[in-house]
Amino acid sequence: MNVNDVVAEKIAAAQRRAEETKRRRAALQAARQRGLAHRHAQRLRNQAAARTTDGAAPVNSTNADDTTEEN
């Protein structure tokens, strides 16, 4: 093995690391964008609920324990 082979291997390894870093960053960016979109949608839902209930908590109760009768 001569010096040129060693240099070529180091260059190839550096290129593989750079590609892996790019893939990892792209995956993290995609996850970040999904999270931001989810937060934005939730914020819009909260604002819409606040407008329809005049600032009170939204009335979306699906709990079976909620009854209007007293036991």
- Scored b (16 or more CB within 10 A) or e, 37-71 reads eeeeeeeeeeeeeeeeeeeeeeeeeeeeeeeeeee
* Confidence class for position 40, pLDDT limits 50, 70, 90: very high
Q: What is the pLDDT of residues 3-33, one digit of tens each?
A: 999 999 999 999 999 999 999 999 999 999 9
**What integer pLDDT is reported at residue 71 of this predicted model?**
47
Whole-number Å distance between alpha carbons of 53 and 71: 29
Whole-number Å distance between alpha carbons of 45 and 62: 18
pTM over 0.75: no
